[in-house]
A and B are shown apart, each in its own frame.
Chain A
Amino acid sequence: MKILAGKLVSWWSIEDAVTAAFIGALIVMCIVTSLAWYAVTQFLESTRWVDHTHVVLATLEHTNASSEEALSAVEEYVITGDPTSIAERDRAISEIQSSLRDLEELTADNESQQQRLAIIDSSVTERIELMNVVLVTRQTEGFEAAQRLFASGRPRGLVDQFSKSLNEMGDQERLLLRHRLFADEVSQRRLLATCGALLAIVVLTVGLGLFRLRRELRLRQMLAEKLEHKTIELQTSNKELESFSYSVSHDLRSPLRAIDSFALMLEEDYAAKLDEEGRRYIKVVREGAQKMGRLIDDLLAFSRLGREPINAVSIDVRVGAERALKEVLVAHTGTSPELLVHEMPAACADAALLHHVWVNLIGNAVKYSSKIAAPRIEIGGCIQGSDAVYFVKDNGAGFDMRYAGKLFGVFQRLHGAEEFPGTGVGLAIVHRVISRHGGRVWGESKPDHGAKFFFTLPQAAFI
């Protein structure tokens, strides 16, 4: 069962299984309700039939009793000659006739009962005539003649015939009731069986749904626990990284500073005692120390940008780009490049983090176009689907697309430090910041034909 259920549930997603179980249960409930409704209606119908039969039987009984009454009234008249007996007989006869009319109505849908009723009807008419003959005989020929006629048994025989027909009608009516009740019982049994089967289906479906749901919940619980574990691990490693970068920033810089400072002091105090080569050595020592200082600073900046929380809001990207441009140009000493800043769409980003992106991309554009006669830098952006795409374009040294894959790695450089200074961390910072925003960054270039760097950010309207 469990294996079967497992197989069955693996076909469906949890949403499908729960929805199917719910809808299935709902449909089956509706069917069961309407079947129950039908059963109740049918039960009421059978009750009506039972009532009907009882009414018919009672009316038959009443007819029989009235007929007996009429007969004894006639007998009394024959003996006493009391005219009140005639009135008694007439009342009994009208009772019989009204009962017969009732019976006719009650059995209107039954051919055989109608036929029996017709026989009863004619025997009643015959009896009334015979009674009239007895009455007339009493009046004209006296008690003796009437007594003879009555005792001859003819009226009694007629009564038997009449009673027999009434009994037949009763039997027929009872038989009919039995057949009807039997048919109803069969159909009700069938209904009950159907309802039972449907309810079993509901229980099974809901049970399967529940089984699947419980399994899914258990799975999710496990995943949540795993995630929590990973989060704690990540937090720990983040803390370690933080203390690591803290000691890097403090402990590594101190000896470097000693190297550079004492080399400077050596130069200041003992330059005169050294020859040209000795002074060059001091210069190399100092340059090395300074370069390492810059590398440490950049590496720390790179590490910090990966750990700082992102506060992404809708920002005017162009304002940030222009601020970065100004900052870069203030520090720039060579030929001022021609600038072209286009309109840019707003984006959802962290302005402080995005500033590092602009400073590095614009700084690179200025740096790598500084050696040509008429440097030109273009900045712009546009909407592409759900993203905002921005670019920084220069007409400088460019790079070979074969090495494009190395562009964004830490300490990766496509130009020598003598050609263009730098630590190789700038584009790694750009990549890290843009990735953390859920965007992409890429570069297009040809050697000596400038470079164009693109990056995407989520559109402001898509926050």
Chain B
Amino acid sequence: MRDVEEVEILLAEDSVTDAEVTQRALTKANIVNPLLWVKDGAEALDFLHGRGRFSGRACAKLRLVLLDLKMPKVDGLEVLREIRATPALQTLPVVILTSSSEESDVVRSYALGVNSYIVKPVESQRIFDEVARLGYYWLIMNRPPS
């Protein structure tokens, strides 16, 4: 595992292949900011709150959370709800990266205060393009509150 304190991108994704594809897409786009991959929402919350196996570790350098919606234990919407309910994390940019194009999911995500909602395309070339663009936008173009 990378040094947890240095993590800038949190990727919550239960599918091993999807996580690998996302990480490869970012690397190929030369976005090499330290990334932590967790397999479910519970782990994501552990990291964000510095508890469980992340106990005592701060996530001070975190700049972007990439959330899948359907995950075991705690789903993406629940993680999003808790991020927005925690004062220290309220302004953290959160992007939903999911297979679901269901209108209800989109509406609920925005109602909970998501910053962006991206539907992962099936076609691989488009996934690589879109993840690269997403990385550029949130980590280079976008200016978060300091």
Contact = CB atoms under 8 A, between A and B. Distances in A.
Contacts of B123: 260, 290, 293
Nearest to B15: A254
Interface in A187-215: none
Interface in B78-132: 98-102, 120-125, 127-128
B18 interface: yes
Given A258-B15, A261-B127, A290-B123, A253 B24 contact: no
Contact of B122 (A251, A262, A293): A293
B18 A254 contact: yes
Nearest to A296: B122
A262 B100 CA distance: 21
A250 interface: yes
Q: Which of A258, A261, A290 has the most CB of B within 10 A?
A: A261
A250 B99 contact: yes
A257 B102 contact: no
Contacts of B98: 250
Interface in A246-282: 246, 249-251, 253-258, 260-265
A249 B124 contact: no
Given A261-B17, A265-B24, A254 B124 contact: no
Contacts, number: 63
Contacts of B125: 264
B4 interface: no
B17 A262 contact: yes
Contacts of A289: 122
Q: Residue among A254, A256, A289, A293 with the most chain B CB within 10 A?
A: A254
Contacts of A292: 122
Given A250-B70, A262-B17, A293-B122, A257 B127 contact: yes
A286 interface: yes
A58 to B, nearest CB: 104
A309 to B, nearest CB: 12
Interface string A282-299: 000010011011101100
Contacts of A286: 124
Contacts of B120: 253, 257
A261 B121 CA distance: 11
Interface in A13-35: none
A295 B114 CA distance: 29
A246 B121 CA distance: 16
Contacts of A297: 122
A287 to B, nearest CB: 10
A296 B21 CA distance: 21
B99 A249 contact: yes
A253 B122 contact: yes
A395 to B, nearest CB: 33
Interface string B51-88: 00000000000000000011000000000000000000
Interface residues of A, number: 25
Contacts of A249: 99-102
Contacts of A260: 122-124
Contacts of B21: 257-258, 261-262, 265
A257 B17 CA distance: 9
A270 to B, nearest CB: 14
A258 B17 contact: yes
Contacts of B24: 265
Question: Which has the most chain A C-beta neighbours within 10 Å: B70, B121, B122?
Answer: B122
Contacts of B18: 254, 257-258
Contacts of B17: 254-255, 257-258, 261-262
B122 A256 contact: yes
A250 B101 CA distance: 8
Q: Kindly name the residue among B99, B120, B127 whose own CB sees the greatest number of chain A CB atoms within 10 A.
A: B99
A357 to B, nearest CB: 20
Nearest to B127: A261
Contacts of A246: 100, 102
Nearest to B28: A268
A292 B18 CA distance: 18
A264 B128 contact: yes
Interface in B6-39: 15, 17-18, 21, 24
A50 B8 CA distance: 122
A51 B64 CA distance: 117
A251 B98 CA distance: 11
Contacts of A258: 15, 17-18, 21
Residue among B102, B124, B125 with the highest chain A CB neighbour number at 10 A: B124
A255 B125 CA distance: 16
Nearest to A292: B122
A265 B127 CA distance: 12
Can you list the 4 inter-chain pairs with the closest CB atoms, starting with the nearest? A293-B122, A258-B17, A264-B124, A261-B124
26 contacts: A246-B100, A249-B100, A249-B101, A250-B69, A253-B99, A254-B17, A254-B99, A257-B21, A257-B120, A257-B121, A257-B122, A257-B127, A258-B15, A258-B18, A258-B21, A260-B123, A261-B17, A261-B128, A264-B125, A264-B128, A265-B24, A286-B124, A290-B122, A293-B121, A297-B122, A300-B101
Given A250-B69, A260-B122, A265-B24, 13 more contacts: A246-B102, A249-B100, A250-B98, A250-B99, A254-B99, A257-B122, A261-B21, A263-B124, A264-B124, A264-B128, A289-B122, A294-B122, A297-B122
Interface of B: 15, 17-18, 21, 24, 69-70, 98-102, 120-125, 127-128
